[in-house]
Amino acid sequence: MNSRVIVFVALLCATGLCVLLRGSMPEFPQLQISRCSCDKCLTEEDPWLMQHLNKSVQPFLSADYSLPEDAFNWWKRLQLESRDYSTYRTTVERLFQMFPPSPDLIESSPDRCRTCAVVGNSGNLRQSHYGPLIDFHDVVIRINKGHTKGYEADVGTKTTHRIMYPESAMDLDDSTHLVLFAFKIKDLEWLIKAFSTGFFGRSYAPIKSTIKANKDLVMILNPAFMKYVHEMWLKKKGRYPSTGFMTLALSMHMCDEINVFGFGADSDGNWYHYFGAVNKNLRTGPHPGGQEYDILQQLHKAHKIHFYNGWQ
């Protein structure tokens, strides 16, 4: 028999045997590769969460990112910015001549569990003794002027990221990321001048002229991310999201496992900062505080985050 014919017959037999075996063998489920090494990753499929969490939205500005003009027009109304898109772009170009061209982020990985503590400033942190638990996280995000000195037992000592805007600015150590939440072009200009010539200008509150921080760890929130949080998470309720709620949304783009401390009122319904006096008249201003708190509770009940109420 011709050798080519023999090879052809052998291949037919092998193919038939494979088909036969495939039909008789049980099918095994596909191996699911987890996106992180946590017990449960935040990004695992969940219909409700996927309606709100859009991982394609860039949370931070970078040198190669171009802000859509419709997002700029939404952002400029937050604090009545009168200058135009061209001025904004020129200012951003100057920013990235001084600060890192891309944000310093820990990327997700199947062999890593990025844990995140989002620490607000609520009075419910008093006597909570959460300090050691907060410090145990990989990423500890604090908001505005939330103090640690004198409150270590309740709020911890570790800070990897400090959220601020010019009116809430404070000096940082060399290992902490300054995360700017800018609400107007002047805020971006402040960042440049606070690290160089000094800023001199007016606002609704006093502004630090200079700031001590590591300029290589500066990160700037994307205005389009603010718009996304307002539209997708809050369904356009309120004028714009609070700094605390935007920080929570931001943490979902930075971490796999999120624990939240220091949000909401105390057990008597009072809103105040753990480092200040009780203020029974304090409210949430232009932000939809009630709805933000309800979403936080919903995320907690769905086991997407863990919300620590405090001890008061």
Specify the pLDDT at position 187: 97
pLDDT above 90 covers a percentage of the chain that reads 64
Q: Give me the catalytic one of 130, 165, 228, 240.
A: 240
What is the arithmetic mean of pLDDT over 87-107? 95
Sort 116 into a burial class: Cβ within 10 Å, 0-12 / 13-18 / 19+: buried
Is 244 marked as a binding-site residue?
Answer: yes
Please state the separation of Cα 283 from the chain's center in Å.
24
Distance, in Å, from the CA atom of 10 to the CA atom of 12, rounded to the nearest integer, reads 5
Q: Is 253 a catalytic residue?
A: no
Residue 61 sits at the vertex; the CA angle it makes with 101 and 116, to the nearest 5 degrees, is 100
Instruction: Report the pLDDT value the prediction gives residue 281, as an integer from 0 to 100.
Output: 55
Q: How far apart are the C-alpha atoms of 140 and 122, rounded to whole Å?
A: 16
**Residue 158: predicted pLDDT:** 98
Q: Over the chain, what is the mean pLDDT?
A: 86
CATH topology of domain 45-307: sialyltransferase cstii, chain A (3.90.1480)
The reply, when asked if residue 272 is annotated as ligand binding, is no
Residue 240 annotated as catalytic: yes
DSSP one-letter code for 236? T
Is 240 annotated in some ligand binding site? Answer: yes
Pairwise CA distance, residues 238 & 251, whole Å: 21
pLDDT of residue 25: 40
More confident residue, 269 or 165: 165
**Average pLDDT in the 257-282 region?**
79
pTM of the model: 0.85
Q: What is the pLDDT of residues 79-89, one digit of tens each?
A: 989 999 999 99
287 among annotated binding-site residues: yes
Distance of alpha carbon 95 from alpha carbon 116, whole angstroms: 28
Kindly name the residue from 137, 230, 253, 287 that is annotated as catalytic: 287
pLDDT, mean of residues 281-292: 67
